[in-house]
Amino acid sequence: MQLRIPGPTPCPPQILQAMGGQMMNHRGPEFAGFLSSITDRLKQVFQTRSDVFLLTASGTGGMESAIVNTLSPGDKVLSVSNGFFGDRFGDIAVAYGADVIRLGFEWGKPVDPDAVTGALRANRDIRATLVVHNETSTGVTNDLGRISTVIKASGSLLLVDAISSLGCINVPVDSWHCDVVVTGSQKGWMVPPGLAMVSVSEEAWKAHAQAKMPRCYWDFSLIRDASQKGQTPWTPGISVCYALDAALDLMLSEGLEGIFLRHARLGRKTRDGIKALGLSVFPDEHCASDTVTAASGSAEVDLAKLIRVLREQHQVIVAGGMGGLSGKIFRIGHLGYVDDDDIESFLQALDKAIPQAKKT
């Protein structure tokens, strides 16, 4: 079975083996050394000198933590969205009582930094801006570097969902002045789901000190206090930590530059491959993601049937469209533990599946 969804991603054998490690005392000296070593290496991948924390949760839990730790009910928040996960980020802020201004872009198009500037100028009291770096639902990578420049010029906090980009595509957290950045173990990290990883800037800490949204499980203060004792406040997903430990060794031995180049190469190979088979890339190609490709069908291909044929006859699992894109696109994950051979064998399967999935 070839799992070509944008997460959970396949795990390499040494990471699956690490998952089978016996339990340890999460309040003992062994765990303290282990947590510190993981955190130090995470900071290298986040390219940050700020705090990086582990949460036992999915990436969505990490998004919730970014909001509830930095904001108060009634705070004005700019929710920038060009897809399903951008909308979700805004929804979480609404659930906690923020005054959310939605700046939406067509799904498949990138976020326009000038429009963000306009929204920030029209609303001078925005406390935080929510941005998805890599919109998994549409296969679009937003230009976070440029977006960050306009946001930070306005004085707003920048909260970033980098769940499907960090560790695959360049996300220099400090040089882009991102205040809270969230990612998830089951994406480019090649690790099973169960951990969200979040960075917290100095400016985010200042906001945290004033932030009144209710929180306990996500509370960065409690997490920081525990981390100073080499612990997490709540029992951590120890096995996923074992896997992340193994993954960080693999990632740092490949090197960030090597990882970014590999994802860029495989993204292009995937896009070129599907176009050669008569399908098209859903988003504008200049903003197409190097971790997930959203593919549109052609007039002859029944996409629901294609997804089924790929699974049942070719042992390849791809993801469907989300929300309004259901039935209109399918999505191919090429992040984490993936190399040229995987994309070539995927494209071979797709080549066979397309004629089997003609509309009748």
Q: Looking at beta carbons only, is 124 or 212 nearer to a copy of itself? A: 212
**Cβ atoms 168, 263 nearer than 8 A:** yes
- 207 vs 238 by CB, closer to a copy of itself: 238
> Closest Cα partner for 146 from 212, 214, 235, 80?
80
Q: Residues 123-147, buried b or exposed e (16+ Cβ, 10 A)?
A: beebbbbbbbbbbbbbbbbbebebb
> Between residues 151 and 251, which has the closer beta carbon with respect to a copy of itself?
251
Least Å from the CB of residue 155 to a copy of itself = 26
Is residue 133 within 8 Å of residue 159, measured between CB atoms?
no
Closest CB 151 distance from a copy of itself, rounded Å: 23
CB of 7 to a copy of itself, least distance (A): 7
Residue closer to a copy of itself by CB (options 234, 352) is 234
Nearer to a copy of itself, 95 or 276 (CB): 95
Residue with Cβ nearer a copy of itself (219 or 351): 219
Nearer to a copy of itself, 98 or 204 (CB): 98
Of 288 and 318, which CB lies nearer to a copy of itself in the complex structure?
Answer: 318
Taking the least distance from each CB to a copy of itself, the nearer of 169 and 243 is 243
The nearest distance, CB 43 to a copy of itself, in angstroms, is 23
Judged by the rule CB under 8 A, the positions of this chain that interact with a copy of itself are 1, 3, 5, 7-11, 16-17, 19-28, 56-61, 64, 91-92, 95-97, 184, 186, 192-194, 213-217, 219, 233-240, 311, 317, 319-320
Beta carbon of residue 71, minimum distance to a copy of itself (angstroms, whole number):
11
> Cβ of residue 230: shortest distance to a copy of itself, in angstroms?
15
CB of 211 to a copy of itself, least distance (A): 13
